[in-house]
Structure formats: C-alpha cells, structure tokens
Amino acid sequence: MRGLRIILPAATRASLAAALVLVPTLAAGGVELKPGPSGRKVITNENEVQRATRLAPRLVEPRQDELIPLIERHARDRGLDPALVRAVVQAESGYNAAAVSNKGALGLMQLMPTTAVELAVASPFDPEENLRGGTRYLHGLLERFDGDVTLALAAYNAGPSAVERYGGVPPYPETVEYVRRVLSLWQGGDAPSVGPARRRPLPPARPVVWRRDGHRAHLTNIDH
C-alpha cells in the first residue's frame, strides 16, 4: 500500500512551515501549551509564580489622609513625635503600604523580612502591623543611642552595628542623604548638613595581669 499523500495549498504550507520553525524557539524560551480557562489549549510562557501573582488580590492602597491618624496613634503609643514617624514613612515608602525596595524591605516603614519577624509583624503590608513594628523598632533605636535622633535614623537605614562601628553616621552616601532628608521633613525646612562620621580610634588596651582576690587569682585588665 502506498503512503497517503496530502496536497495542501501554498499559503497553508507556508504557515505550517513557519509554525514548525517557531516551535523549537518557543520551547527554548519556556513557552508551552497549557489548558486555558475554557479548556482550550493556549500558548504561554507564564510560570506558576507569575500566574499566582497576577491572580492574587491586589492590596487596596489607603490614602495618605487615612494613614495620618494611624501613624499618630502608633507614634503616641511608643512615645514618639508623630511628625518624626511621618517623616520616616514619607522617606521610606512615600505612604505606599505595598512598597517593596530593591533590597526586599516591605511596607510603609520598609521593614526587612528578618526585622519583621523579630518584631512579630506577620503581615508587613498591613499598615496597622507595619506601623506597630516600625515605631517599636524606631523607639528601640532611640533608646539604644540615648535619644540621638540623627544616630537612630542612621541606624534605621544602615543598621545599628554600622553606626556603632563608625561612632556616628556611617560614610554611606545613601545613609547620609537619608538622614538629611528625614531631618528636613521632620523639621519642616532645611536640616543641618549631616556629615559621615570618622572611625573613632580604639582606646589603648590595658595590660591583662594576674590579680589575687582573697584566696583566688584571676586574669583582669581592670584597675583596682
């Protein structure tokens, strides 16, 4: 039995040839056939994460005037100046509760995921939770740096260990500009220039010696 031969019109043959050339290219780019909503096959290069993101409910953005009472309440609860917290929120997210930075900071006060966990913030994009955690964190930094707002803001941006390591505002352009901007927003005008700190020289080490305490001897570098 001879093979069946089908003669197709020239236009159809051209379309089929183009499709056969295109299939390997699409497969290389991650494009595949998937069932669509109606059950028909559709060509897509959307992965499962992209699809879940597209179909997820969008967070409704609260308006700035709706956030002000919330900010002021959380600021007062932590003994903070509401104007300072508002300045931090504006500098961090521009009052965007769904903001995500290129470093992964989240929400109004741009909490890093690890910081959010430490502050028991389960939903960083929820304004109530984000402000509760962010004001708690800012309050803790002010306590850590003896109420010095400049150092607390520098620590909020660069981390407290960096501020302690440099003995002041770390010499990072982003941090220097961040502190300047928040102070300017807080004070309602031009803030004083914020210069990066220089490393403080470590005090000379005291010699470690043996000292006798009653019937026991121990090593120490503390003068008696």
Q: Which two tokens stand for residue 207?
A: 């010699």
| Residue 201's pLDDT band (cuts 50, 70, 90) | very low
Residue 216 region, left (φ>0) first, then alpha (ψ -120 to 50), else beta?
beta
| Residue 191's pLDDT band (cuts 50, 70, 90) | very low
Q: Catalytic amino acids?
A: 92
Q: Under a CB-based contact definition with an 8 Å cutoff, are residues 167 and 200 in contact? A: yes
For residues 134 and 52, the model is more confident at 134
Q: What pLDDT does 63 receive?
A: 75
Q: How would you label 177-189 residue by residue, b for 16+ Cβ within 10 Å and e otherwise?
A: ebbbbbbbbbeee
Distance between terminal CA atoms of the chain?
A: 111
| Domain 64-187 CATH assignment equals 3.30.830.10 | no
128: phi then psi, degrees, rounded to nearest 5 = -60, -50
The pTM (predicted TM-score) of the whole model is 0.60
**pLDDT greater than 80 at residue 210:** no
Q: Is the dihedral of CA 40, 43, 49, 50 positive or negative?
A: negative
| Residue 45's pLDDT band (cuts 50, 70, 90) | low
Q: What pLDDT does 188 receive?
A: 76
| Span 188-207, average pLDDT | 47
Q: What pLDDT does 183 receive?
A: 95
- Numbered ranges of CATH 1.10.530.10 in the chain: 64-187
143-166 pLDDT tens trace: 999 999 999 999 999 999 999 999
Q: In this structure, which long-range contacts are made by residues 126-130, counting pairs with CB atoms below 8 Å and at least 24 apart in sequence?
A: 126/97, 127/62, 127/67, 127/70, 127/97, 128/70, 130/97, 130/106
- CA distances, 158 to each of 54, 100, 169 (Å): 33, 17, 9
| Span 105-120, average pLDDT | 96
Q: Compute the half-sphere exposure of residue 43: CA atoms within 13 Å on the CB side of its CA.
A: 9
Q: What pLDDT does 57 receive?
A: 39
Q: What pLDDT does 35 receive?
A: 59
Q: How does the average pLDDT of the chain come out, rounded?
A: 75
Q: What pLDDT does 224 receive?
A: 46
Determine the longest span between alpha carbons in the chain, in angstroms: 113
Q: What pLDDT does 64 receive?
A: 74
3-state secondary structure of 81: coil
**pLDDT greater than 70 at residue 187:** yes
For residues 14 and 179, the model is more confident at 179
51-110 pLDDT tens trace: 433 444 344 556 777 899 999 999 999 999 999 999 999 999 999 999 999 999 999 999
